[in-house]
Structure formats: C-alpha cells, structure tokens
Amino acid sequence: MIQLDREWLRDGEPTPELVREALRQFDREAVRLKQLKDYYDGEHAVSARMRMKGAPNHRLWHDLPGYIVAMTSGYLVGEPVQYQCIEGQDISLLTRTLKRCAADNVDCELATDAAIYGKAVEVYYADGDAMPRLCQADPRNAFVVYDTTVEHAPLFGVLLSDKLGERFERVCQRVDVMTDQWIIHMERNGTETPHEVGRERHFFGHVPMGEYWNNSRERGDFEGVMNLIDAYDALQSDRVNDKQQFTDALMVIYGATVEEDEEGGRSLQQRLRETRTLEMPAADARVEYLTKSLSESDTEVLKNSLRMDIHKLCMVPDLTDEAFGGNQSGVAMEFKLFGLEQLTRVKERWFREGLLWRLNCLVHFLKLRGFDLPDAETLEVQFSRSLPVNRLEVAQTLRTYDGLVSKEDLLAQVPFIEDAKAAYARLTLSSNEERVIRAGSGQ
C-alpha cells in the first residue's frame, strides 16, 4: 500500500512532483510483480539453468502456479456474485447495469489477478451512451494511493500506459491520475516529472479506481511456495537428465584397443553400431557400461514430499489425491476442503470491500443520471461456493426437513434452483390449479 498525508495535496489534487514520488514508490514493486507474472506464465528459475556442454539439460517446469490460481479464484467467484438490498428495494436497474458491463467476467479476471499479484485493480468510466462501465486494469501498471488515517481512504489512482508512434515505437509514457472529481492526463519521458497535457471531469463521486486485495499482506496465493516449486522443477528435470545419461552410458572395453578395421577403415565403435556384434581379441577381455545407480524410490518420496508441502502451505487440495473419491459425503468433502475454505473466507472479505467500492461509484453515477436507486450502504454482496454437489444426499436431506421448515426454504437448498421465491410461486400456482381440477371432477 502506498500512503500519503492528505495535507500534501493541492486543492485535492496531487502535484506533478507528488505523482513522480508515488511512481518511485510503485517502481519498487515492479521486480516482484514481474517475477510473479513470469512464474504464472511458466518462466520458472529452472528455465535458465545451465549445465556442462554435452550433458543433458532438460528444463521441465510445472504449472503449479496456474493450478493454484485456478483453484482459489474459481472457488471464490466460480459462481456469479449476487446482490440484494437489505431494505427490500428494487435494484433491477443496477443488476442490468452490471450485466451490461459483463461484471461476472470482470470479477473472474480480478480474482485471478488478486491470486497472482496479491491485488487486482479496476477502473470505472462512462461509455458513449453516458452509462457507467468497468474494466480490469493490469496491476503492474495501475495503483491507488491512500491517506495515512486509520480509514485508509483513497486519495487518487494512477494508470500507466505507453504512447506509441506511427511505427508502434514508444514515444513516451502516459500517466492518468484519477481524483474524486477529475481525470488528469499527464505524460513523461523516462523518470522525469510528468507534465499535464489535459484533463476531463468524471461523475462517479469517488476515485474511479478500486483495488481488490488478496489478503492484508497483498501476497499472491503461490508467492510463499515459489522456492518449493523451484525444487520440484529441479527434481523432475534431474530425473529426466539422469534417465538420459543412463541411456547414453559410456561403454568401457577392457583388453582391446580402438583401432581401424581392415575392411572399410571402420573403428571399433562404428563396427559395433552397424553390426551390433563385438569380437574380443583376448579371453580376459570384457565390456561393460559405466553407469550410476538410480534410486527411484527415494526420488519418488522426495517428489511426493515437495508436492504435499506445496499444497499444504497454499491450502489448495490436490484433486488427484486418492482421498478425493467420487463417493465422498458432503461433510467429508468439507473437511478435505477446510483449508481452502478458510483461505477463501479471507479472500472474500477483501474482495467484498472492492465490490462495495464499485457499487458506491456506480450508484452515485446512476443517481446523477436521475435513476431511482437505493443507497449503496443498503446493498449486500453474496458469494456462493463452486462445489460439486451430491444430489442424492441433498434430496435425502430435504426429505428429512420436509414439514419442519417452509417449502420456500427447502427450495432454496436445491442446487439447480436459482430463484427460490419464483420457484415456490410456480409450485403454489400448480398446486392450486390441481385442486381446482379435482374439485371440478368431483374427486
């Protein structure tokens, strides 16, 4: 988090010198963010490993970061986020606006970025129809500066991009500074102080940029096990190298010299490759391969230990484990996913903060347009887990609770019913129609 005392702002806006200092602070994170992106893209430390000339040098990398990110982000927002008003007011306009913005897709991108970099960034803007839109921004090129109070209120946001020429060469760097009223367009060359080239007013009422933290430390989900991933890559690469060296083992010949054959001038090695036979000149001559013994069992134990440590420290289960069978009960599955659930609860709290900031900005914009919407403080964000469902177990549970709770509450527990209230209304209507038919037939 980049913090700044509010008193250094001038009329609520940062000076160009202040923007330059904020960029310097952000540049300190550039190396870390690039390394995280490289690991997610498959550029691990083993990819740069060198060995002696002639020695096999397999450099195997494993997409464990991709697996971890897919599991944690999918478990968080695999099911679309739902919104409702705690005061019961209609929010259909807001949900339509979010659907028009493809908010579900943006949420998936934000959850992925938060799992990789430790935070994600979102930008709000108005389209050609003067309606609010939102998009995901690259955390390596965008950040928010907060004040030094206990509330950590956003002061301004910064969005970086390259200005390209006609031949797609880099001309300079664009620096868009977003305050609670203005979007200030700046440019700079190198590390010089940016200068303003224009500005435009926005109507979101707040800084039109929000950050989604992954946790209080702003750490990615695989950041703490990168050294274990390096060890896993190196171990698997060495196993393949050792196998190739075993196949290309040196042949040692005792009691014979390497001389040219009388026919064709072939050497002993050439004749051996062509005829696959070898004549030994003396009775005590012998041939053997020079190899080293390979302990596959020890290597397999070390590999399994590394893999278990990676999954344990990331709190992401290994779904290829035999413990994840298809006949697991719901309670047993919950225990196996207990670590991931605790991790996701933390991620959910921070993600909810970002979504509430989004709702504040969108509601303020729409109210200025004259639309009737409830205050953002009355809106509630609901997450649901993306889990496999044992439908037989659900049906047995619902049958047990039948008569103890209302029909509508029972329908809310059925996984394939999205709107329990509408489903209950249809069920009630069909029941009434059936009674009318029975009464008319005299039954």
How much is the pLDDT for 260?
54
Residue that wins the pLDDT comparison between 194 and 438: 194
How much is the pLDDT for 441?
53
Measured distance CA(21)–CA(24) in Å, rounded? 5
Which residues are 75's β-sheet partners? Answer: none
> pLDDT for 83-109, tens place per residue?
988 887 888 899 999 999 999 999 999
Measured distance CA(350)–CA(346) in Å, rounded? 7
How much is the pLDDT for 443?
53
Residue that wins the pLDDT comparison between 423 and 434: 423
pLDDT, mean of residues 372-395: 80
Name which of 24-28, 342-346, 371-375 the model is least confident about. 371-375
Q: Within its chain, how far is the Cα of 209 from the centroid?
A: 20
How much is the pLDDT for 292?
66
- Global pTM reads 0.79
Residues 6+ apart with CB under 8 A from 74: 386
Residue that wins the pLDDT comparison between 105 and 60: 105
How much is the pLDDT for 22?
93
Which residues are 251's β-sheet partners? Answer: 289
Q: What is the DSSP string of 82-116?
A: EEEETT----HHHHHHHHHTTHHHHHHHHHHHHHH
> pLDDT for 203-232, tens place per residue?
999 999 999 999 999 999 999 999 999 999
Q: How many CB atoms lie within 10 A of CB 235?
A: 15
The answer, yes or no, to whether residue 245 has pLDDT greater than 80, is no
How much is the pLDDT for 361?
94
How much is the pLDDT for 90?
84
Terminal-residue alpha carbon distance, the chain: 73
| Single-letter amino acid, residue 89 | Q
The answer, yes or no, to whether residue 412 has pLDDT greater than 80, is no
Name which of 104-108, 368-372, 399-403 the model is least confident about. 399-403
How much is the pLDDT for 323?
62
Residue that wins the pLDDT comparison between 287 and 130: 130
Give the start-end residues of each E strand in 321-403.
379-382
Confidence at 37, pLDDT banded by 50, 70, 90: very high
The answer, yes or no, to whether residue 335 has pLDDT greater than 80, is no
| Tokens 């890559």, residue located | 233
How much is the pLDDT for 88?
77
pLDDT, mean of residues 34-50: 90
Which structure tokens are listed for 189?
């060359």
The answer, yes or no, to whether residue 132 has pLDDT greater than 60, is yes
Residues 6+ apart with CB under 8 A from 440: none
Query: Cα angle vertex 69, ends 387, 238, to 5°?
Result: 120
Q: What is the mean pLDDT of the chain?
A: 84
The answer, yes or no, to whether residue 440 has pLDDT greater than 70, is no
Could you tell me the sign of the dihedral formed by the alpha carbons of 3, 179, 358, 34, in that order?
negative
Give the start-end residues of each E strand in 42-87.
82-85
| Tokens 């806006």, residue located | 13
The answer, yes or no, to whether residue 346 has pLDDT greater than 80, is yes
Of all residues in the chain, the percent with pLDDT exceeding 70 is: 80
pLDDT, mean of residues 326-350: 79
How much is the pLDDT for 177?
96
The answer, yes or no, to whether residue 416 has pLDDT greater than 80, is no
Confidence at 112, pLDDT banded by 50, 70, 90: very high
How much is the pLDDT for 278?
66
pLDDT, mean of residues 266-279: 67
Measured distance CA(319)–CA(328) in Å, rounded? 13
How much is the pLDDT for 329?
60
